[in-house]
Structure 1
Amino acid sequence: MVSVGLLARVYPAGAVDRAVEACGRRERRSRVLPARLVLYFVLGLALFSPDPYLEVMRKTTFGLRQVGLLGTWREPSKPSISLARRRLGWEPLRELFARTVVPLAEPSDAWAFWRGLRLMAVDGTCVDIADTPANDEVFGRHGGRPKPGERPYKRAAFPQARVVGLVECGTHAIVDAEVTDYHTHETTAGRESARSMRPGMLVLADRGYPGVELWRGWATSGAELLMRLAGSRYSLVPDEVLADGSWLTTIYGHTDRRREHGIQVRAVRYQLEAAGEEYTLLTTLTDHEQYPGSELAALYTERWEIESTFKELKAQQIGAGQVLASKTPDGILQQIWGHLLVHYALRVHMLQAARANTENLDPDRLSFMTCLRAARRITMMPPADFFPSA
């Protein structure tokens, strides 16, 4: 059965139970909808988006019924499912995500590394959510809260939740995420990505990110950084000009008026022939011989892999033009974490499929949409040790 079988291979029942237990959501008495089954049901909602509740429940329990694990269990009503979702909350899904997701590529996967560094990217995206007073109050929307004295922007049709992710470029695996309201800037939410950065990573980010405090927080993780600079944000006075034309410079925060707490970085400036526009990158990789500036300029295009990842999540998995249907903020958070978990599970299976190929394919050559359709279509039996409750 797809929605339990495929997902339970990435998120085994024991891992689900531990996440539920850690959040204090394990039931104290026997229920028709135990926490374990409800969590898998939420994953089913994401996998079969935008199918309605009862249809997803039938798909989620089909395999269990086929092997006799449900016994005399009767399909619950829609209100019962809604109540069970509220009991579970969103925290166990976030906990399961935090406990389970890791970068997937092996050091032998040359397509995921550059000069021994695992390529990662950070960026943010927004997800449309149901237009209810509660969602609007908690998450907000574009044009919804003008500053005092300013004319409001055109009001967006729906509230939005912001998701900032840390993605492994080679596999499109989202290995860290922060979910916030629309009005929290992605650089603020992005500070939390440092918890999943490690030595041996090279993190790419767009021009909105290279603030001194964010840079310092990410660099403390031991990861290397490569970010595009927005305009003339820093003067970039050379401390030392290097042989490849890049240079070492010191950047300061806007509150560091005495310039006492600067960070030395390397600046790489280049021009794209087609556009004629000049770009500047900042990096922690100060050795110009080991990390040539021309290669860094070419490498920066890998940042677009995170844009493709968000397209998979939003346009293909959630569905183009679809709005997350939960009427409450807790329900929205539950849905978002469910979608993040399902996307990761699909990416795990895509990598396994690529490795099973005799050519050890780069997963980029496989279609996410084809994988998603197959996961929705193929009926697989659940693992032999799977039961709907502990």
Structure 2
Amino acid sequence: MLADDLRFLVESQPPLEWGRLGQHLPYEWIEYAVQATGSASVRRRRLPAQQVVWLVIALALYRHQSISEVVDELDLALPAPDASFVSKSAVAQARQRIGAAPLAWLFHESARNWVAQDQARYLFKGFSLFAMDGTTLRTADSAANRRHFGASAAAHGRIGSYPQLRAVTLTALATHLVRDAVFGPYDINEMIWARELIDRVPADSITVFDKGFLSAQLLCNLVSGGQNRHYIIPAKSNLRWEVVSGCDGDQIVRMRVSPQARAKCPDLPEFWQARAVLAVDAKGRQRTLLTSLTDRRRFRGADIVSCYERSWQIETSYHELKQSMLGMDLTLRSQTVEGVYQEFWGALIAYNLIRLEMAKAAIDAGHSPEEISFIRAFHTIQYEMTWAAVTRSYGKLPTLLKRLRERLKQLPNEKRPGRRCVRAVKSRPFRYTVRVLKRDLN
């Protein structure tokens, strides 16, 4: 009888909701994601669809542990009287059952809500600041992944060692939260993904682009397709324009839309206008920034330059996601195409969870989110979630999360006074020793 009572108490406990980090990811969202995408479990399983969603997110946080270890250490499987662990095949089948759709829905819903939470705190003259750029990530070298994603072309016609996916993201510069993302096969150009993402850029925003995204179709659609949506992008050296008004260093210019672009998009005008602002870096190098912010009184040239200089922060977010979370192992573990999509959506959710908790901790401490160390916050959250799974102290979870927030507040980035890291392209070292002849020395 005592054994039956104990078994009843264990089975009546709710599954560990480790993803309830600061209650940012409500269980209702998980429930709706699996219901809306038709992935809910019909019969009782040890790993129902809701728990598998937590598992996929956890795989990004515990990158160097096997899936079975993650399930066991985080206690994700529901208790059962006749089994003490979940087999590897059962875990793989559970992931296959839910697919990638619930994770995609959950990412878009959570990202939209999380970015909007503290948006008013980080506005720049009434606008939210975003950056859009692309990146690549290796996938497991399976036949299915290679057929679907493709690979880069190496020297002498050789194909890259690993298949790769290409992604384009829209990232909030203030908090590094990924607001939106699209990704797929490597051969699809970043401009194609960007056109899909442009339609989902929020209103009252300024988006900073790399010069590779300079396109009349892309930028005109950004401005005309929403309310108060603006851009800042560096001009290419071969771009030609006609000066409409203004003085040297700050002009309104007019550019012709190419016939090829108008053939693809007949709605484009024959000419499009932008404001051209001259920017000079610390080494005296000049570049021209094009922007749709034409109000010189509200947005000075220095404001435009300052916004563009913050665009490098999206590269920092890629480093945090790919190097810090994946531990320099840039290969996703999934062998199937659907598994790769599922895994990457889960990684984006996990990254946003860490970044959101860092933003909350920074607010409590009166700091900027950039002053909190990502890697130390990442390790702290790993430890706290493992501890919560071991103790299963549900009543103490609010205290646990409060303590986590306090620890994050004590983890500012320690930078030497006056240190300035300038981004520069480094020359690649020679793989072999260079042989110096005597006649070269004379």
**Matching residue within 289, 311, 323 for 1:303:** 311
Give the secondary structure class of the aligned counterpart of 2:107. helix
How many angstroms apart in 1 are the aligned matches of 2:256 and 2:127? 24
Letter in 1 for 2:232: L
The answer to whether the Cα contact below 8 Å between 1:39 and 1:93 also exists between their aligned partners in 2 is yes
- Structure 2 counterpart of 1:271: 280
Q: 1:75 aligns with which of 85, 94, 100?
A: 85
Aligned-pair distance for 1:38? 0.7
Deviation at 1:216, TM superposition (A): 2.2
Higher relative contact order (CA 8 A, sep 6+): 1
1:284 to 270, 292, 313: 292
Evaluate the alpha carbon distance shift between residue 302 and residue 254 of structure 1 in structure 2; reply closer, same or farther with a 3 A threshold: farther
Which residue of 2 is the match for residue 344 of structure 1? 352
Aligned residues: percent identity? 26
TM-score by length of 2: 0.77
Q: How does 1:219-258 map to 2 (within 5 A)?
A: 219=223, 220-222=225-227, 223-232=229-238, 234-242=239-247, 245-255=250-260, 256=262
- Letter of the aligned partner of 1:161 in structure 2? L
Q: Secondary structure at the match of 1:319?
A: coil
Q: C-alpha displacement at 1:105, in angstroms?
A: 6.1
User: What is the letter of the counterpart of residue 295 of structure 1?
Assistant: D
Q: Does structure 2 retain, via aligned residues, the 8 Å contact 1:139–1:180? A: yes
8 Å CA contact retained: 1:350, 1:363: yes
TM-superposition CA deviations, 1:151-171 (whole Å, max 9, x none): 864432211111211000010
| Distance in structure 1 (CA, Å) of the matches to 2:216 and 2:394 | 49
SS of residue paired to 1:130? coil
Deviation at 1:270, TM superposition (A): 2.7
SS of the residue aligned with 2:351? helix
Q: Is the 8 A contact 1:211 1:253 kept in 2?
A: no
What is the rounded CA distance, in whole Å, between the counterparts of 2:322 and 2:194 in structure 1? 19
Maintained 8 Å contact 1:208/1:229: no
SS in 2 for 1:246: strand
Report what 2:432 is aligned to: none
Rounded Cα–Cα distance in structure 1 between residues aligned with 2:129 and 2:16: 31
Per the alignment, residue 156 of structure 1 pairs with 160
**Distance (whole Å) between structure 2 residues aligned to residue 214 and residue 6 of structure 1:** 38
Q: Which amino acid aligns with 2:220?
A: R
Aligned residue for 1:161, secondary structure, equals strand
Q: Point out where structure 1 has 5 or more consecutive residues left out of the alignment.
A: 145-150
Distance 1:12 1:108, change over 3 A: closer
For 1:271, give the aligned amino acid.
Answer: V
How far off its partner does 1:299 sit? 2.3
Structure 1 residues 7, 136: closer, same or farther in 2, change over 3 A?
farther
SS at match of 1:156: coil
Rounded Cα–Cα distance in structure 1 between residues aligned with 2:301 and 2:58 = 46
* Counterpart position of 1:26: 40
Where does residue 366 of structure 1 map in the other structure? 372
CA contact (8 A) 2:252 2:273 kept: no
More helix by share: 2
In 2, are the aligned partners of 1:19 and 1:96 still within 8 Å (CA)? yes
CA displacement, residues 351-374 of structure 1 (integer Å, 9 cap, x when unaligned): 1111121xx110100011011101
Larger radius of gyration between Structure 1 and Structure 2 = 2
Q: Match of 1:147?
A: none
* Contact map agreement 2:165 2:183 (CA 8 A) in 1: yes
Any conservation in 1 of the 2:127–2:205 contact (CA below 8 Å)? yes
Q: Is contact 2:240-2:255 (8 Å) kept? A: no
**Shift in CA distance, 26/5, structure 1 to aligned 2, threshold 3 Å:** closer
Q: In the alignment, what sits opposite 1:138?
A: 148
Distance 1:161 1:279, change over 3 A: same
Are the aligned partners of 2:137 and 2:330 in contact in 1 as well (CA < 8 Å)? no
Q: Cα distance, 1:133 vs. partner?
A: 1.1
1:37 and 2:51 correspond = yes
Q: What is the SS of the residue equivalent to 2:299?
A: coil
Q: Is the 8 A contact 2:103 2:342 kept in 1?
A: yes
Amino acid at match of 1:53: I
Give the C-alpha shift of residue 204 in structure 1: 0.4
How far is 1:196 from its partner?
Answer: 3.2
